[in-house]
Amino acid sequence: MEADRVVHRPATIKAEIPSLKDCMLILCKKKYNFMLATFVNLV
C-alpha cells in the first residue's frame, strides 16, 4: 500500500501541471479578448 502511494503521487503532480497551463491559457485568452474588445471600442 505504501509503495502505491509513492507511485501515485508523481502522477497526480504531472496531471496538475497541464491543468495549470490550461488555466494560464484561459486567463491569457480572456485578457486578450478584453484588450481586443477595448481596442475595437476605441476604433
Q: Does the global pTM surpass 0.85? A: no
**Residue 40, C-beta contacts closer than 8 angstroms, at least 6 positions apart:** none
Given this model, what pLDDT does residue 13 score? Answer: 61
Residue 43, pLDDT score: 72
Q: What is the largest CA-CA distance in the chain?
A: 63
| pLDDT value of residue 21 | 81
List the grid coordinates of 4: 502505491
Tally of residues, the chain: 43
pLDDT in tens, the chain (43 residues): 555 555 566 666 666 667 778 878 888 888 888 988 888 888 7
Question: What span, in angstroms and rounded, lies between the C-alpha atoms of 25 and 22?
Answer: 5
Q: What pLDDT shows up at residue 2?
A: 57
